[in-house]
Amino acid sequence: MVVSLAFAPISSAQPPQAAPEAISACTQFARALDLAALSYSDFANALALGQVNPNYGHPTVAMSNTSGRAGLREAAELALAASRTPGLARDVATPMRAWSVRAVKLLVLMGLRADVDRFNAAATTLNEHTEIAQMACARAGSRA
């Protein structure tokens, strides 16, 4: 007995032509992601020193917390501005706004000097929203 395999035809369809507003918004959102990653990474590294409750009095933690908050604030503003691009499809704008809200939540936790577990949970959620927004840009024919 010969078993045949059925394969789906290979699609030669090109990705959709991106609307100019999607390209603009997704490019701006990508800058927000880069800024957030750059700003938060030093603080995340300081948290990785192993304490559940970080020593916010330590100069490295204090400095990275301050600069991280400033960068996240700017990144959240950039993402929100990107989501408000005139003519941008709602299915692209909505995930950008959700990402901005999650970035602000992380920013607030930094200001409140939360424990590591709360940061990890908030960062994980932010990363999930990053992926959702990037997928929305990809479906629109652009990338973030």
Segment holding 65, helix H or strand E: helix 59-83
Q: Where do the structural domains in the chain lie, given as residue ranges?
A: 20-139
Q: What is the pLDDT of residues 11-28, one digit of tens each?
A: 444 455 789 999 999 999
Whether the predicted pLDDT of 7 surpasses 70: no
* Residue 48: HSE in the Cβ half-sphere, 13 Å Cα cutoff: 6
pLDDT, position 4: 36
pLDDT, position 9: 45
The tokens 């999930």 sit on which residue? Answer: 128
Whether the predicted pLDDT of 6 surpasses 80: no
Q: What is the pLDDT of residues 43-69, one digit of tens each?
A: 988 888 767 788 888 898 899 999 999
pLDDT, position 50: 66
pLDDT, position 75: 97
Average pLDDT in the chain = 87
